[in-house]
């Protein structure tokens, strides 16, 4: 089969397609590496400054004790991961952390809570946090689990820019990883977020034991949503002791990861693709290839939610050597906790 050329394969005037099929994604993925990278790079340069990588910062505002059974997650109460659950963080601490993140070069601040869905009382507090962080001049993102349309509308009114809610994996692999909420539940929440006028951040995880076809199936699922998510986080599973994914996990071959990023760039040419969790396992060279393939966002800070991220100095050095237009401040201490899981 002739591999589909993304620029000539029936794209709408916007350049965005929502009718990708698996075979097309697989054909792109199987292209000779140079040809795949050329297509991805061409689209990347058409749509983005290739020398810019977005820097986002992450804070767990409510950690652990989550009733969902996501088989990869340190925060699920179904597994003994040794994590201590916390209450919702107070607004002053959140805003002070966001301020430090801004000073350290983050343009977006993402607040995450280990909930199945927020209670309305909790949402009041999160809305206040969103408004306050927005007041610092940062882009805001929250990830709170499933939302009702009314809750999404309230977050929009509070000034929320992005809502993160991942599909996590392919429809076929989904049930092996999560049983307490369905993929359809997640797609419903994404629709409520979109309908409320909030931008969507939606991606998933690789390295849980899924096949290459599952990774591509996840990208096709994302690309065929009614609108492409504005942000697509690609998480490499960050190892957590005590969760079921340990039994199946297999870190993808690095070249396979680059190919996947390139396919994401081609399927969703105007979306920001975030090299999200798991950068701690990647060499500088692998990250550089991922940026060339079209990744253009990272989380900065030494800790993600409960697991480690590369140290600030390492990221600053990498971006500097690549000539990437980062505002990372080498002199600023990490704004995140130093108690990441080993
Ligand atoms: N509880 C909310 C939810 O699941 O929608 C928000 C927080 S949850 C931690 C956000 C996303 O982080 C998950 O959907 C998953 O894709 C990712 N994630 C969680 N644990 C991870 C891990 N150990 N490694 C990589 N990604 C992970
Ligand atoms: C996403 O896709 N990745 C971020 C964000 N959304 C909230 C979370 C990564 C979590 C990594 C595991 C941890 O630190 O607990
Ligand atoms: Fe809960 Fe989110 Fe972790 Fe799933 S990924 S267990 S919903 S915190």
Beta strand 108-113 with 162-164: parallel, antiparallel or unpaired?
A: unpaired
Residue 203 corresponds to which tokens in the numbers above?
A: 């991606």
Is the predicted pLDDT of residue 223 greater than 50, yes or no?
yes
**3-state SS, one letter per residue, for the chain:** CCCCCCCCCCCCCCCCCCCCCHHHHHHHHCCCHHHHHHHHHHHHHHHCCCCCCEEEEEEEEECCCECCCCCCCCCECCCCCCCCCCCCCCHHHHHHHHHHHHHCCCCEEEEEECCCCCCHHHHHHHHHHHHHHHCCCCEEEEECCCCCHHHHHHHHHCCCCEEECCCECCHHHHCCCCCCCCHHHHHHHHHHHHHCCCEEECCEEECCCCCHHHHHHHHHHHHCCCCCCCEEEEEECCCCCCCHHHHCCCCCCHHHHHHHHHHHHHHCCCCEEEECCCHHHCCHHHHHHHHHHCEEEEEECCECCCCECCCHHHHHHHHHHHCCCCCCCCCCCCCCCCCCCC
CA distance 109 to 124: 18
Rounded to the nearest 5°, which phi and psi values hold at 57? -125, 145
Examine the residue annotation and report whether 290 is marked as an active-site residue of this protein.
no
Residue 122 corresponds to which tokens in the numbers above?
A: 């909790």
Q: What band does 325 get if pLDDT is binned at 50, 70 and 90?
A: low
Residue 218 corresponds to which tokens in the numbers above?
A: 């996840």
Q: What pLDDT is recorded for position 13?
A: 52
Threshold 0.85, pTM exceeds: yes
Q: Which residue minimizes the CA distance to atom 15 of ligand 2? A: 306
| Backbone CA torsion sign across 296, 302, 304, 310 | positive
Q: Which domains does the chain have, with CATH numbers?
A: 35-328 (3.20.20.70)
| pLDDT tens for each residue of 3-58 | 444 433 334 556 699 999 999 999 999 999 999 999 999 999 999 999 999 999 99
CA distance 342 to 339: 9
Residues within 6 Å of ligand 1 by CB: 72-73, 112, 114-115, 143, 145, 165-166, 168, 204-205, 235, 237-238, 240, 277, 305, 307
Smallest Cα–Cα separation from 22: which of 233, 213, 201, 230? 213
Pocket perturbation via mutation, ligand 3, pick of 61, 71, 73 by most ligand atoms within 8 A of CB: 73
Please enumerate, as own/partner, the contacts of 16-24 that have beta carbons within 8 Å and a separation of 24 or more: 16/228, 16/268, 16/269, 16/270, 17/223, 17/267, 18/223, 18/224, 18/225, 18/226, 18/228, 19/224, 20/220, 20/223, 20/224, 20/267, 21/220, 22/213, 22/216, 22/217, 22/220
Partners of residue 162 on adjacent β-strands: 141, 199
CA 55 to the chain's CA centroid: 12
Examine the residue annotation and report whether 73 is marked as an active-site residue of this protein.
yes
Of all residues in the chain, the percent with pLDDT exceeding 70 is 90
Let me know: does 106 contact 56? Beta carbons within 8 Å: yes
Residue 274 CA: which ligand 2 atom is closest?
A: 2
| pLDDT tens for each residue of 178-214 | 999 999 999 999 999 999 999 999 999 999 999 999 9
| pLDDT tens for each residue of 233-255 | 999 999 999 999 999 999 999 99
Smallest Cα–Cα separation from 123: which of 277, 325, 204, 115? 115
- Given 66, 127, 202, 290, which residue is catalytic? 66
- Given 17, 186, 194, 201, which residue is catalytic? 201
| pLDDT tens for each residue of 259-316 | 999 999 999 999 999 999 999 999 999 999 999 999 999 999 999 999 999 999 999 9
Q: How far is the CA of 145 from the centre of ligand 2 (A)?
A: 13
Q: Within 13 Å, how many C-alpha atoms sit on residue 306's CB side?
A: 23
């Amino acid at each position: 089969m002739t591999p589909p050329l993304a620029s000539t394969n029936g794209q709408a005037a916007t350049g965005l397609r929502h009718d990708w099929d698996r075979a097309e994604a697989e054909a792109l993925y199987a292209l000779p590496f140079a040809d795949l990278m050329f297509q991805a790079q061409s689209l990347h340069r058409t749509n983005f400054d290739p020398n810019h990588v977005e820097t986002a910062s992450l804070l767990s505002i409510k950690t652990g004790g989550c009733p969902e059974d996501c088989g990869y997650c340190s925060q699920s109460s179904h597994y003994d991961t040794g994590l201590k659950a916390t209450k919702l963080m107070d607004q002053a601490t959140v805003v002070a952390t966001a301020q430090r993140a801004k000073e350290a070069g983050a343009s977006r601040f993402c607040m995450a809570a280990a909930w199945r869905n927020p209670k309305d009382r909790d949402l009041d507090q999160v809305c206040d946090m969103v408004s306050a962080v927005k007041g610092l001049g940062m882009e805001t993102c929250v990830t709170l689990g499933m939302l009702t349309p009314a809750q999404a509308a309230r977050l929009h009114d509070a000034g929320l820019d992005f809502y993160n809610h991942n599909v996590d994996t392919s429809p076929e692999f989904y049930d092996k990883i999560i049983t307490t909420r369905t993929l359809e539940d997640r797609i419903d929440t994404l629709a409520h977020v979109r309908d409320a006028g909030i931008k969507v951040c939606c991606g998933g995880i690789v390295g849980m034991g899924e096949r290459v076809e599952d990774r591509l199936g996840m990208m096709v699922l994302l690309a065929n949503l009614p609108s492409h998510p504005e942000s697509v986080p690609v998480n490499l599973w960050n190892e957590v002791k005590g969760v079921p994914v340990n039994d199946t996990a297999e870190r993808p071959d690095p070249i396979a990861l680059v190919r996947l990023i390139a396919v994401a760039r081609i399927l969703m040419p105007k979306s920001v693709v975030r090299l999200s969790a798991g950068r701690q396992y990647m060499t500088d060279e692998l990250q550089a290839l991922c940026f060339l393939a079209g990744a253009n966002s990272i989380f900065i800070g030494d800790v993600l939610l409960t697991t480690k991220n590369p140290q600030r100095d390492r990221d600053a050095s990498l971006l500097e050597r690549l000539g990437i237009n980062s505002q990372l401040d080498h002199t600023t201490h990490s704004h995140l906790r130093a108690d990441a899981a080993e």
